């Protein structure tokens, strides 16, 4: 009996301790959540303090989502990716580790998550060496770029010539055939385009000096594949077959000065592999409530060089925190969100995001509202809000920046870089991060993405935590608005304005070339302008509740807006056809209607009685028909939509 009582007392004591532990744990969790909530609210208060109108400009849902954001949780992810994983190139165990971590986190938030596996054409750096052999002897530390043509073991020798940034204009007064070219690291043009142009000009090798200040010891890693995404049998031939190495800024300035004094000869050797590897690309989907088939695509590259803090553990971690909080509020999101962590970004040149386009074409074409790219948020020393995108979302982007930052900042047209794989399918691109002031940028020799990019110096201390947190809040508001706006936030008038401007530029460019006829194309653009104005009138009437079936009207307006954007994007921004990709950083992206710009610029150099002139004229006519057809399709979509909207009144 005593033994039974003793056992009961022991059990009761254990139970009491367990209950106490549970209550203590609950209390600790409650305190921790309260602290996190207070921290998030403090961050929101700080934003409102710097921008007094921010609170009034944010919706109730946006405020709720912002209040739940935790910069500490984002930093926890970033710390793991930087310190536990570090450099993660495609095909390695490190990127597989990062991918599985991300999938597990996404599944924990309740998302439908997976890891896509597919082959990518990849490259690994192996060896590089550089020596000055005339007018003096000096060894220079170097690293190989990836996807290069490797030299033989004995290397190669040649005269060294400095060619500035390595763009076409930098070669105008230079003869570089069979010479080795030295260029500055810049993003205008980016590294792959430098290599493509150098090879086209006949150079036998390329040496790239890093950006940043002269005391910066970093040698930046990178690739020069140029061909965007996985190659086809045709584009495979376009991968630059040229040895390319990277050196420090100080070494580059030494060589540049040497070149300015007279003839310089160097010897170099470079080796890198070329091979096919399997990707590890996490994808997570959060389903909306009212329009689940429509979605916003949010992405950033997972593959990364060096310690990876800026590029792009910072972006990966923000996407994870955004996924967590948005999943918590999924009942308040009308559209779905797909989160992509792109493999094959650094070396295979956006192979991961291109694969996503290639294998989800119909879904993207019909239902994707926008692609939001998150890369390099919160770099120490940056301060200017910088947006990049396409004209139809420019005003939307600027409005969100102003609501969060208190100013519109700078906006620029997206260039062919940063996983901009969506120009062909026509999904509007939205990118954002703070940048350096012009003065600081010049001091850093145009190191727009920091002097530490793609190196072991890209550590956690290179992220400004408060600035990083502000980026987090910005993207939360931006994505929420894209999910919940009744009408897609496209300004078709801006798109028409750019189309008119492009045709006017081409008319000026072709002045004096008799066979060039562009008046018919301008007339087509004016018809498009009129059709857009009619649609805008119905949008105003619908917003004033003058159309009976609002949901049906919204659906019609949205579908027309998406179709027009899809039709015009490939002709305005691409030389390649819509199902293919232009090279990385291609010089023609941003030129007025590239498919017409090419024949016109070639005809300008020729006489009318030359055979080549007639060949280019034929190409011009056919490309003009392609452009006219796309504009005509856009007009057709708008005309049909306005008829249907009239019937709803």
Q: What is the pLDDT of residue 551?
A: 87
Q: What is the pLDDT of residue 349?
A: 95
Q: Assign 3-class secondary structure to 92-104.
A: CHHHHHHHHHHHH
For 274-300, the pLDDT digits (tens) are 999 999 999 999 999 999 999 999 999
Strands 291-301 and 368-373 come out as parallel
Rounded CA gap, 320 and 511, in Å?
53
Q: Which residue has the higher pLDDT, 342 or 50?
A: 342
Give the HSE-up count for residue 512: Cα atoms under 13 Å, Cβ half-sphere.
8
Q: Which residue has the higher pLDDT, 38 or 67?
A: 67
For 596-640, the pLDDT digits (tens) are 999 999 999 999 999 999 999 999 999 999 999 999 999 999 999
* In the block, residue with structure tokens 């200040």: 213
What percent of the chain stands above pLDDT 70?
91
pLDDT-derived band at 76, boundaries 50, 70, 90? very high
Q: What is the pLDDT of residue 1?
A: 44
C-alpha closest to that of 272 among 244, 236, 232, 239: 244
Structure-derived torsion over alpha carbons of residues 176, 177, 179, 183, reported in degrees to the nearest 10 = 40
Rounded CA gap, 139 and 255, in Å?
12
Mean pLDDT for the stretch of residues 136-149: 97
Mean pLDDT for the stretch of residues 365-386: 97
pLDDT at 40 over 70: no
For 465-509, the pLDDT digits (tens) are 999 999 999 999 999 999 999 999 999 999 999 999 999 999 999
Hey, is 214 helix, strand or coil? coil
pLDDT-derived band at 13, boundaries 50, 70, 90? very low
Mean pLDDT for the stretch of residues 88-94: 98
Hey, is 548 helix, strand or coil? coil
Domain with CATH 3.50.30.30 in the chain: 124-273
Mean pLDDT for the stretch of residues 100-119: 98
> What topology does CATH give the domain 54-121+278-484?
Aminopeptidase (3.40.630)
Q: What is the pLDDT of residue 375?
A: 97
Calculate helix-pair angle for 314-328, 93-108, nearest 10 degrees.
20
Hey, is 384 helix, strand or coil? strand
Displacement of CA 324 from its chain's centroid (Å):
22
- Provide CATH code, domain 492-648: 1.20.930.40
Encode burial over 548-582: b for 16+ CB neighbours within 10 A, e otherwise. eeeeebbebbbbbbbbbbbbbbbbbbbbbebebbb
Rounded CA gap, 523 and 330, in Å?
46
* Radius of gyration for the chain, computed over Cα atoms and rounded to the nearest angstrom: 28
| CATH architecture of the domain formed by 124-273 | 3-Layer(bba) Sandwich (3.50)
Rounded CA gap, 302 and 514, in Å?
51
Q: What is the pLDDT of residue 546?
A: 63
pLDDT at 22 over 90: no
Cis peptide before 522 (omega within 30 of 0): no
Hey, is 338 helix, strand or coil? strand
Rounded CA gap, 208 and 584, in Å?
17
Domain with CATH 1.20.930.40 in the chain: 492-648
Q: Which DSSP string do the residues of 100-123 spell out, in sequence order? A: HHHHHHHHHTT-EEEEE--EEEE-
Rounded CA gap, 480 and 331, in Å?
12
For 510-528, the pLDDT digits (tens) are 999 999 999 999 999 999 9
Mean model confidence pLDDT for the chain? 91
pLDDT at 45 over 70: no
Name the token pair of 72: 């500490």
Rounded CA gap, 228 and 581, in Å?
6
Rounded CA gap, 516 and 16, in Å?
91
Rounded CA gap, 622 and 616, in Å?
10
What percent of the chain stands above pLDDT 90?
86
Mean pLDDT for the stretch of residues 552-560: 94
Mean pLDDT for the stretch of residues 252-257: 97
Domain with CATH 3.40.630.10 in the chain: 54-121+278-484
Tell the burial category of 79 from Cβ atoms under 10 Å away from its Cβ (0-12, 13-18, 19+): middle
pLDDT at 56 over 60: no
Hey, is 328 helix, strand or coil? helix
């Amino acid at each position: 009996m005593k033994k039974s009582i003793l056992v009961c007392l022991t059990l009761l004591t254990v139970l009491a301790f367990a209950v106490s532990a549970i209550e203590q744990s609950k209390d600790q969790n409650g305190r921790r959540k309260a602290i996190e909530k207070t921290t998030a609210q403090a961050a929101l208060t700080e934003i409102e303090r710097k921008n007094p109108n921010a609170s009034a400009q944010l919706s109730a849902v946006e405020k709720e989502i912002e209040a739940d954001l935790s910069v500490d949780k984002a930093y926890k992810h970033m710390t793991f990716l930087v310190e536990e994983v570090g450099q993660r190139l495609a095909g390695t165990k490190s990127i597989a580790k990062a991918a599985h971590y991300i999938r597990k986190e996404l599944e924990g938030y309740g998302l439908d998550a997976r890891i896509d596996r597919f082959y990518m054409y990849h490259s690994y750096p192996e060896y590089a060496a550089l020596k000055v052999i005339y007018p003096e002897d000096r060894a220079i530390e170097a690293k190989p770029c990836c996807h290069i043509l490797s030299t033989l073991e004995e290397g190669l020798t040649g005269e060294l010539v400095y060619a500035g940034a390595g763009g076409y204009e930098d070669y105008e007064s230079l003869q570089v055939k069979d010479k080795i070219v030295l260029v500055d690291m810049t993003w205008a043009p980016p590294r792959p385009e430098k290599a493509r142009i150098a090879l086209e000009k006949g150079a036998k090798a390329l040496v790239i000096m890093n950006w940043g200040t002269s005391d910066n010891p970093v040698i930046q890693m990178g690739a020069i594949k140029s061909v965007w995404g996985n190659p086809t049998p045709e584009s495979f031939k376009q991968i630059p077959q040229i040895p390319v190495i990277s050196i420090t800024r100080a070494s580059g300035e030494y060589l540049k000065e040497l070149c300015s004094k007279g003839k310089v000869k160097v010897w170099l050797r470079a080796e890198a592999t070329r091979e096919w590897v399997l990707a590890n690309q996490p994808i997570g989907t959060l389903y909306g409530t009212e329009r689940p088939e429509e979605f916003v695509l949010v992405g950033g590259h997972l593959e990364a060089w060096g310690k990876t803090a800026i590029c792009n553990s910072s972006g990966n971690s923000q996407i994870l925190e955004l996924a967590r909080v948005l999943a918590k509020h999924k009942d308040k999101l009308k559209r779905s969100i797909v989160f992509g962590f792109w493999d094959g970004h650094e070396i295979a040149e956006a192979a991961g995001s291109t694969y996503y386009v290639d294998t989800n074409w119909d879904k993207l074409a019909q239902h994707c509202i926008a692609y939001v790219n998150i890369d390099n948020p919160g770099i120490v020393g940056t301060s200017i809000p910088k947006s990049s995108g396409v004209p139809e979302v420019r005003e939307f982007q600027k409005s969100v920046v102003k609501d969060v930052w208190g100013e519109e900042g700078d906006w620029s047209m997206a260039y062919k870089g940063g996983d901009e794989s969506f120009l062909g399918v026509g999904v509007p691109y939205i990118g954002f991060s703070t940048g350096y002031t012009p003065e600081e940028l010049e001091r850093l020799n145009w190191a727009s993405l920091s002097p530490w990019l793609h190196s072991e110096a890209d550590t956690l201390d290179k992220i400004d935590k408060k600035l990083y947190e502000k980026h987090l809040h910005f993207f939360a508001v931006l994505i929420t608005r894209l999910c919940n706006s009744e009408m897609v936030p496209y300004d078709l008038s801006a798109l028409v304005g750019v189309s008119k401007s492009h045709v006017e530029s081409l008319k000026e460019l072709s002045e004096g070339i008799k066979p060039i006829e562009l008046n018919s194309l301008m007339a087509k653009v004016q018809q498009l302008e009129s059709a857009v104005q009619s649609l805008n009138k119905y949008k105003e009437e619908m917003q004033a509740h003058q159309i009976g079936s609002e949901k049906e009207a919204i659906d019609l307006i949205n579908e027309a807006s998406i179709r027009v954007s899809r039709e015009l994007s490939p002709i305005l921004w691409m030389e390649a056809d819509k199902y293919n990709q232009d090279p990385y950083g291609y010089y023609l992206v941003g030129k007025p209607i590239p498919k017409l710009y090419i024949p016109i610029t070639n005809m300008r150099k020729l006489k009318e009685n030359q055979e080549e002139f007639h060949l280019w004229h034929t190409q011009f006519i056919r490309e003009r028909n392609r452009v006219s057809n796309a504009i005509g399709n856009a007009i057709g979509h708008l005309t049909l939509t306005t008829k249907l909207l009239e019937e709803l009144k």
